[in-house]
Amino acid sequence: MPDGPDLPGPPPGAQSGSQIIERKLATILSADVAEFSRLMNEDEEQTLRTFRGHKKIFESLVMTHHGRVFNTAGDAILAEFASPVEAVRCATDVQSALRTRNEQLPPTRQVRFRIGINIGDVMIQGQDLLGDGVNLAARLQTAAEPGGICISGSVHDQIRNKLSLSFHSMGERSYKNIPQPVRTFSIVEAEGGAPLPSPKAASARQNPAIWVIVALVVVAGIGYAAYAIHQRGRGEPAPAATAAAPPAPAPSAATPPAAGNSTAEKAPASQSQPGNVVAPPAAAGDAKPVAKSEVTAAASAPAKRPHASATVASFDGVYSGQVCYGGTPKLPRHCYDAAGTVLGGKLTGQWDMPGGRGVVMHVEGDIQPSGDATIAMHSEDQDGTRVATINMTGAIRDGSLVASGKFERGRPASLDWRLASQSAK
């Protein structure tokens, strides 16, 4: 039989099954559950129930943000988005929604996702996506803290001027089977000021020396502030004047507050020891003795000191309590502990934000003689970038500093502190 006509070969790039490999650019979100093996070993059934509930919320939010879940395996979820902005919004909404659910569980039973996001060229295989773009998203996920989000530099470049987020640069990191180092960022604060766990804050928590140094600095600052308050209340200019005070009997005999002591010698003896000068302001949990002492000292001392200053000084001390952020349609209400120092009509303080973000909150305020307070709070990233601002008004009444206000984007915030009490020595 004669040979038939030659048939054309497969088109270039086709596989043996005459399937052309299609490629596209996509934003890939990769997520898995932190410590999933431990959770399953401790209680399989409860872990699966919690995971399934979390997964439904996860998949629903992916659809809300115009994404598509293209693969799941065990505790892993892979989703694609046409827009990096929508992918990151979806990730922050997922972590916020799941944090609310996890707060109802014991800390050791919480099912927390780690999320990584990357933009890359991917290959299409049916409903699945393959390639380095997917692999890198999975590697970024391993760099995230439980409940946190890590993104590649390419994603950061696309969203940094479009979303009100705070980022921590983790530098160029090398990942398994990825040939080139990758610029990596963690999201430390979502829109509205909601904190997210960050590797930067976690590393600080793992170094006890950092917290020892912080504690020493705080204690030294409080002690110095208390000593300064005491010296100003007595109208004495320097520690040397305090040491020279005991030999002069006339001022101690003429000072009415010493009448509360059983002997006339007790007042100068306590004033002559610098180690004890912290006691008067530390005992200011009851504000009346401090106010009475300062006003009496101002009246008997030759230095000119207006009555209004003595009134302001009566508010001096260390205040501590809670700062709370109100709930929004996307973010739950949450509170954390903080503290500040009032000295001479000025409120100051700073603290590391809880939850593992690496952001530092600063507070400044003016306290009027009437007790009315105007307070400004702002948070800063490690490079000094201001990432959130809160303006508040309130007042100090009966040893309590209470104020309320809003973030720049409208989320409500409040502060409820009490004058800290310390035992006098």
Percent over 70 (pLDDT), the chain: 66
| Shared domain check, 217 and 185 | no
| Shared domain check, 166 and 122 | yes
| Shared domain check, 423 and 389 | yes
| Shared domain check, 348 and 231 | yes
More confident residue, 7 or 127: 127
Distance CA 420, CA 314 (A): 14
Domain coverage including residue 374: 208-241+283-425
The model's confidence at residue 256, banded by pLDDT at 50, 70 and 90, is very low
- Find out whether 137 and 105 touch, Cβ atoms under 8 Å: no
| Shared domain check, 226 and 121 | no
Domain contains 265: no
Least confident segment among 100-104, 144-148, 210-214: 210-214
The model's confidence at residue 234, banded by pLDDT at 50, 70 and 90, is low
| Shared domain check, 137 and 224 | no
pLDDT (tens digit, 9 = 90+) per residue, 300-354? 444 444 444 445 558 888 889 999 998 887 678 888 889 989 888 899 998 887 7
Distance CA 137, CA 142 (A): 9
Q: Does residue 423 register a pLDDT over 50?
A: no
Q: What angle do CA 32, 37, 39 make, to 5 degrees?
A: 95
Asked which of 125, 157, 191 is the last residue of a domain, the reply is: 191
What pLDDT was estimated at residue 270? 40
Mean pLDDT in residue range 269-287: 41
| Shared domain check, 302 and 342 | yes
Domain contains 367: yes
What pLDDT was estimated at residue 183? 96
Domain contains 198: no
H or E element at residue 77: strand 76-81
Distance CA 171, CA 161 (A): 20
**Cα 359 from chain centroid (whole Å):** 5
pLDDT (tens digit, 9 = 90+) per residue, 161-218? 899 899 999 999 999 989 999 999 999 998 777 889 877 644 444 445 555 565 676 6
More confident residue, 257 or 212: 212
Q: Does residue 239 register a pLDDT over 90?
A: no
What pLDDT was estimated at residue 251? 46
**Alpha-carbon torsion (284, 285, 287, 293), positive or negative:** negative
Q: Which residues contact 394 (CB under 8 A, 6 or more apart)?
A: 372, 373, 375, 401, 402, 403, 404, 415
Give the DSSP letter string of 277-305. Answer: TTHHHHTTTSHHHHHHHHHHHHHHSSS--
Domain contains 270: no
Within 10 angstroms of residue 130's Cβ, the number of other Cβ atoms is 14
pLDDT (tens digit, 9 = 90+) per residue, 401-418? 999 999 877 889 999 999
Q: Does residue 82 register a pLDDT over 60?
A: yes
Alpha helices by DSSP H, 14-151 = 36-42, 44-64, 84-102, 132-143
Domain contains 218: yes
Distance CA 196, CA 189 (A): 5
Domain contains 202: no
The model's confidence at residue 386, banded by pLDDT at 50, 70 and 90, is confident
Can you read off the two tokens belonging to residue 268? 């100068």
Asked which of 191, 221, 249 is the last residue of a domain, the reply is: 191
| Shared domain check, 156 and 287 | no
| Shared domain check, 418 and 300 | yes
**Number of domains into which the chain is organized:** 2
Mean pLDDT of the chain: 77
In angstroms, the Cα distances linking 56 to 77, 116, 329 are 11, 19, 19
Domain contains 126: yes
| Shared domain check, 356 and 330 | yes
More confident residue, 296 or 106: 106
Q: What is the pTM assigned to this prediction?
A: 0.48
Provide the b/e sequence for 169-206 (b: ≥16 CB within 10 Å).
Answer: ebeeeebeeeeeebbbbbbbbbbbbbbbbbbbbbeeee
Domain contains 423: yes
| Shared domain check, 214 and 333 | yes
CATH number at residue 121: 3.30.70.1230
More confident residue, 236 or 370: 370
| Shared domain check, 178 and 236 | no
Asked which of 191, 216, 231 is the last residue of a domain, the reply is: 191
